[in-house]
Structure 1
Amino acid sequence: MRPVTARAPIARTRPGSYAVTAEFYDILQAAEDERLVRDLYGREVAKARLGVLDIGAGTGRVTLMSLAESRVGVHAVEPARAMRTSLMTRLASLPARERERVTVHPHTLDEAALRAVADVAVCHNAVACLPPAARRALWPAIGAALVPGGSLFLQLPPARLPARSVERVLPEQRVGEHTYGGHMVMSAAGDRIRTRVDYWVRGAEGLLREHTETFWMWPASRSRMIDDLALDGFVPSPGHDDPGFLAVTLRSPW
């Protein structure tokens, strides 16, 4: 996660986690994340002619945007049960014709073993929480899932460790008689970034519940990401200069 801004993601981590975060993720971040996803990837997803691959689909912001902006099939890869449950609930509310365009893969991308299913791939709010070895292992799996000439669009991890602890208060949201809120603190811990997120629910009588979840992230510079992706046949795509966003194209093998 790069220094906290309006685009700072809540950390994503191992498939068994999110037991706490899944309850709060959408209510505290949905509107902001929906706008960001549409702005970063909407026009690119609309160009898909074969399929869209959503890597680390979470609760489904990219998946639903892809259904709205394209007419192709969507492969949503989400190994975390807690987040996938929210995704499936959201898909269940769609018309049957829309649901038929989405395949949900309850595995990591390498375990899903997808082959040439998409010409556009999106990896939003996910790469930062992969250790370097796991991050490098992701690129060939994406290359296999894309057709030659396909495009990958990803939200970059933070470029460096934070020099000091950084805090962010998530705007409170009202649900009936209860108010939901959250507070995030990021700090350096060795070669990683430790992110602790505290959530709470308040009612008229005061605090009702408190929960905490801690995540880890690994920084990597933009140039390091480009170099690593190049080893698996990806080259930077022209015309994309957002500092927190990287667009690359899979070279043809001939």
Structure 2
Amino acid sequence: MHSVIPGAPAVGPPQDDYAVTAEFYDVLQAEQDTARVRHLYRRDVAGAHVGVLDIGAGTGRVTEMSLRESLAGVHAVEPSRAMRAPLMTRLAALPRALRERVTVHPYTLEEAGLREVADVAVCHNTVACLAPEARRALWPALAGALVPGGSLVLQLPPRRLPDTDVVRLFAPQRIGEHAYGGHMVMAAVGGRVRTRCHYWVRGSQGLLREHTETFWMWPATRAELLGDLAGHGFVPLPSRADPGVLALSLGPPARPE
């Protein structure tokens, strides 16, 4: 039985789209992704004064980095129940002083209804996973959650469908007596990118178990995103060194006093 708190957003059925991947993600990808998010967003979050908004927090690499690099409060938005399990475990292991500055919102940003809680928003590895209608619904929610002059930094989705299947191998990782590994295959299917992840666990006697999980991604060009975001008051900031990252400001960026 679930109790309902008056005034809280309605929570639907648990979103366990990542039920398989949640077990393997940090084991196979977190070390590389932790270095990447620090490289891409550290300077942005370090300059936050009002707060940092982590949209699609996943297992918490951007969230933890934001807590360590800034003194501002952090809002971690993650609707997937499966992904929130490692996220909460990561946060529980942090010192109390860091934990007290982070709030986890178990909804989509639209459902969370946050208003002017941050001057920096990071959207890492998320926009590609939103269907066009869901992506368009995100922008007004983002504009409401940022203070005027706040900045948004997002990782761009693929510009187009892949011409051929793309395979990415996960380097095997050992935990105790078991080795964990797998691979990802990206393919164009019906105007979308089908991303199929295969995971395996091996022991001294061979294969112990294997799992497969499928995700979908939707391509969008930089120009398309800029056009959509402009309708909600976002203006582009200077291009980043990494062409896969787009930075914008909610209205003209504030001038330093």
Shorter-chain TM-score: what band? over 0.9
- Which residue of structure 2 lines up, in the alignment, with residue 6 of structure 1? none
SS at match of 2:114: coil
Any gaps of 5 or more consecutive residues in structure 1?
A: 1-13
How many Å apart are 1:60 and its aligned residue? 0.3
CA distance in 2 between partners of 1:143 and 1:250 (Å):
7
Aligned AA for 1:34? T
Whether 1:229 aligns to 2:229 is yes
Aligned AA for 2:146? L
SS at match of 1:28: helix
Aligned AA for 2:23? E
CA distance in 2 between partners of 1:246 and 1:104 (Å):
25
TM-score normalized with structure 2 length:
0.91
CA distance in 1 between partners of 2:238 and 2:156 (Å):
17
How many Å apart are 1:241 and its aligned residue? 4.0
Per-residue deviation, residues 167-209 of structure 1 (Å, max 9, x unmatched) = 1111110101100001111100011000110000000100000
Percent pairwise identity: 69
Name whichever of 195-204 and 234-243 sits farther off. Answer: 234-243
Q: How does 1:1-254 map to 2 (within 5 A)?
A: 15-251=15-251
Any gaps of 5 or more consecutive residues in structure 2?
A: 1-13, 253-257
Number of residues of Structure 1 aligned to a counterpart in Structure 2: 239
CA distance in 1 between partners of 2:124 and 2:239 (Å):
19
SS at match of 2:198: strand
CA distance in 2 between partners of 1:163 and 1:143 (Å):
35
Per-residue deviation, residues 98-135 of structure 1 (Å, max 9, x unmatched) = 11000000000000000000000000001001000110
SS at match of 1:83: helix
CA distance in 2 between partners of 1:76 and 1:129 (Å):
17
CA distance in 1 between partners of 2:179 and 2:150 (Å):
44
Larger CA Rg, structure 1 vs 2: 2
Aligned AA for 2:188? A
CA distance in 2 between partners of 1:16 and 1:208 (Å):
23
Aligned AA for 2:74? V
How many Å apart are 1:235 and its aligned residue? 0.7
CA distance in 2 between partners of 1:118 and 1:222 (Å):
24
Name whichever of 237-246 and 18-27 sits farther off. Answer: 237-246
Aligned AA for 1:138? L
The CA RMSD measured in Å over matched residues stands at 1.0
How many Å apart are 1:18 and its aligned residue? 0.7
- Which residue of structure 2 lines up, in the alignment, with residue 3 of structure 1? none
CA distance in 1 between partners of 2:182 and 2:71 (Å):
36
How many Å apart are 1:239 and its aligned residue? 4.5
TM-score normalized with structure 1 length:
0.92
Per-residue deviation, residues 141-177 of structure 1 (Å, max 9, x unmatched) = 0000000000000000000000011111111101011
